[in-house]
């Protein structure tokens, strides 16, 4: 069939992302307005501020993406938008903008699920076919899913408390690292120069042989390790550790987090051996999938088990407009669309 184009809008969290993508997988234009800096001093994302920033940036971001694609909105074939899960007041900004465009220009309209959009990024410009196993690791989620087709997903493991992205963000804060737009990249960069054997942290969930995750215990152990290190160095609790101490702590955290992921993945691989149809592919998606050390370790486990391994380009792992557009394309290819006038947003979206 003839290639078509979709304008995708993503505003579920703290980035306003818009992109125009062709059904062939070609990204024609993309634009992102980051809120790094806005939430820096608040210990987390402030929904009201995030909503205001989305509202202030959405029209310019749409215009920029179209401009980069060399297109007018009249030229795109459909509009797609993230409708959940996420911050409700933020989702609404993107959804209203998308509905307005779809109605004004009589374009087909598709509401997309944020997690499904993360997962489907693994099929953008790749040969990946269903079924496959997904490890979704983001700021909001940590899940293992069996994926059998568009809209057909079974959660086989989730987190009992925090997500891995949240743990990375907390670790960044405890080490006084820059957290604008997520602390993960700063922790990863620091961990490269650290020795993980200097600080001992416990691997979570050693007594549970299922596919669930937990990061709260690790986070607390990390907090205690930071305080102990400060005590050893004769620092006040608010004092700042030397770079090498921070690097060793970061390396230790990342090392244990990866061990936890590896153990859960090995269990999932052995559990799915009995499933039909059989699975022999893993995709790792979501913001944390941008992490090089995590990509490498999970890719090695797949290789050892003769599984294929897929991961989106690092810059497309974190939230962006391409994922909304591509998920829209995948749904349109399955003849799925929605009615813009009745579209709602869903803070929780199972």
Applying CB under 6 A, which residues contact ligand KG4? 13, 138-140, 165, 168-169, 182-185, 188, 286-288, 290-291, 318-319
Which does residue 188 bind out of ligand KG4, Zn ion, none, counting CB within 5 to 8 angstroms by kind? ligand KG4
C-beta closer to ligand KG4: residue 204 or 286:
286
C-beta closer to Zn ion: residue 116 or 319:
319
Q: How far is the CB of 261 from ligand KG4 (least distance, A)?
A: 11
Which does residue 288 bind out of ligand KG4, Zn ion, none, counting CB within 5 to 8 angstroms by kind? ligand KG4
Q: How far is the CB of 75 from ligand KG4 (least distance, A)?
A: 29
Binding positions for Zn ion, 135-174, rule CB under 5 A: 138
Q: How far is the CB of 73 from ligand KG4 (least distance, A)?
A: 26
35 is a site residue for Zn ion (CB under 5 A):
no
Stretch near Zn ion under the rule CB under 5 A, chosen from 95-103, 153-161, 243-251, 311-319: 311-319
Between CA 243 and CA 29 the distance in angstroms is: 39
319 is a site residue for Zn ion (CB under 5 A):
yes
Which does residue 85 bind out of Zn ion, ligand KG4, none, counting CB within 5 to 8 angstroms by kind? none
Q: How far is the CB of 287 from Zn ion (least distance, A)?
A: 6
Q: Which residues bind Zn ion (CB under 5 A)?
A: 138, 319
């Amino acid at each position: 069939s003839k290639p078509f184009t979709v304008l995708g809008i993503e505003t579920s969290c703290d980035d306003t992302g818009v992109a125009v993508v062709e059904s062939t997988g070609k990204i024609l234009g993309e634009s992102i307005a980051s809120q790094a800096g806005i939430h820096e001093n608040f210990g987390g994302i402030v929904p009201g501020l995030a909503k205001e920033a989305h509202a202030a940036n959405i029209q310019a971001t749409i215009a920029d993406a179209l401009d980069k694609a060399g297109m007018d909105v009249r030229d795109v074939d459909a509009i797609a938008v993230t409708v959940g899960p996420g911050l409700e007041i933020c989702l609404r900004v993107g959804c209203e903008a998308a509905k307005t465009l779809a109605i004004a220009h009589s374009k087909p309209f598709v509401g997309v699920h944020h997690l499904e959009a993360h997962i489907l990024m693994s099929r953008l410009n790749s040969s990946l076919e269903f079924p496959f196993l997904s490890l979704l690791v983001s700021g909001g989620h940590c899940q293992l899913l069996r994926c059998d087709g568009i809209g057909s997903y079974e959660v086989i493991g989730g987190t009992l408390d925090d997500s891995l992205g949240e743990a990375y963000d907390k670790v960044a804060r405890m080490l006084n690292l820059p957290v604008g737009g997520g602390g993960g990249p700063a922790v990863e960069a620091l961990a490269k120069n650290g020795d993980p054997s200097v600080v001992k942290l416990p691997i979570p969930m050693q007594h549970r042989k299922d596919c669930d995750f937990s990061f709260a215990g690790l986070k607390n152990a990390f907090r205690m390790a930071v305080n102990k290190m400060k005590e050893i160095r004769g620092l006040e609790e608010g004092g700042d550790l030397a770079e090498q101490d921070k690097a060793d702590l970061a390396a230790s955290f990342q090392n244990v987090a990866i061990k936890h992921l590896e153990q859960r993945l090995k269990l999932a691989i052995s559990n799915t051996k009995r499933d039909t149809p059989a699975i022999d592919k893993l995709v790792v998606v979501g913001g944390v999938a941008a992490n090089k050390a995590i990509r490498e370790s999970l890719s090695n486990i797949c290789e050892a088990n003769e599984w294929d391994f897929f991961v989106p380009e690092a810059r497309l792992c974190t939230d962006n407009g391409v994922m909304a557009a591509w998920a829209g394309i995948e749904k349109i290819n399955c003849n799925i669309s929605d009615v813009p006038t009745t579209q709602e947003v869903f803070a929780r979206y199972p």
